């Protein structure tokens, strides 16, 4: 499942990189922009998960180092417990990729 999500995100990134608004002329520019879009999409997935967790679930991750393998496992477990999570991130990622394609800009992330 994780591999399919990764493939899906890669396709969305490629779609964004094909936007004439981005005006990317070199492979290095495309690679750099692709990395920025990936980071943005990862943040969208993370934010969508956090927004859909209960207070009890949030307490379970409150003290975790979010870059640790334990946190990654816990976040995957929590994502699996959110009803329709795949549909939620699908909707968010489609909307954000369309926005990037149309504007040539990566939206500013809320901190």
Query: Does some domain include residue 75?
Result: no
Q: CA of 107: how far to CAs of 17, 34, 36, 93, in Å?
A: 15, 14, 11, 12
Query: Does some domain include residue 24?
Result: yes
- What average pLDDT does the segment 62-72 reach? 89
Query: Does some domain include residue 58?
Result: no
Rounded CA separation 54/57 (Å): 5
- 11-56: per-residue pLDDT in tens? 999 999 999 988 887 889 999 999 999 999 999 999 999 999 999 9
Domain count, the chain: 1
Q: In this structure, how many other beta carbons lie within 10 angstroms of the beta carbon of residue 47?
A: 14
CB 44 within 8 A of CB 93: yes
pLDDT given at position 110: 61
pLDDT given at position 111: 53
């Amino acid at each position: 499942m994780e591999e399919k999500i990764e493939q899906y995100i890669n396709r969305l990134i490629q779609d964004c990189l094909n936007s004439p608004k981005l005006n990317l002329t070199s492979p290095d520019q495309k690679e750099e922009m692709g990395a920025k879009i990936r980071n943005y999409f990862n943040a969208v997935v993370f934010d969508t998960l956090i927004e859909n967790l209960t207070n009890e679930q949030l307490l379970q991750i409150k003290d975790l180092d979010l870059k640790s393998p334990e946190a990654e496992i816990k976040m995957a477990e929590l994502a699996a417990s959110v009803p329709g999570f795949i549909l939620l991130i699908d909707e968010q990622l489609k909307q954000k990729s369309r926005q990037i394609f149309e504007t040539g800009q990566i939206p500013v992330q809320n901190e």
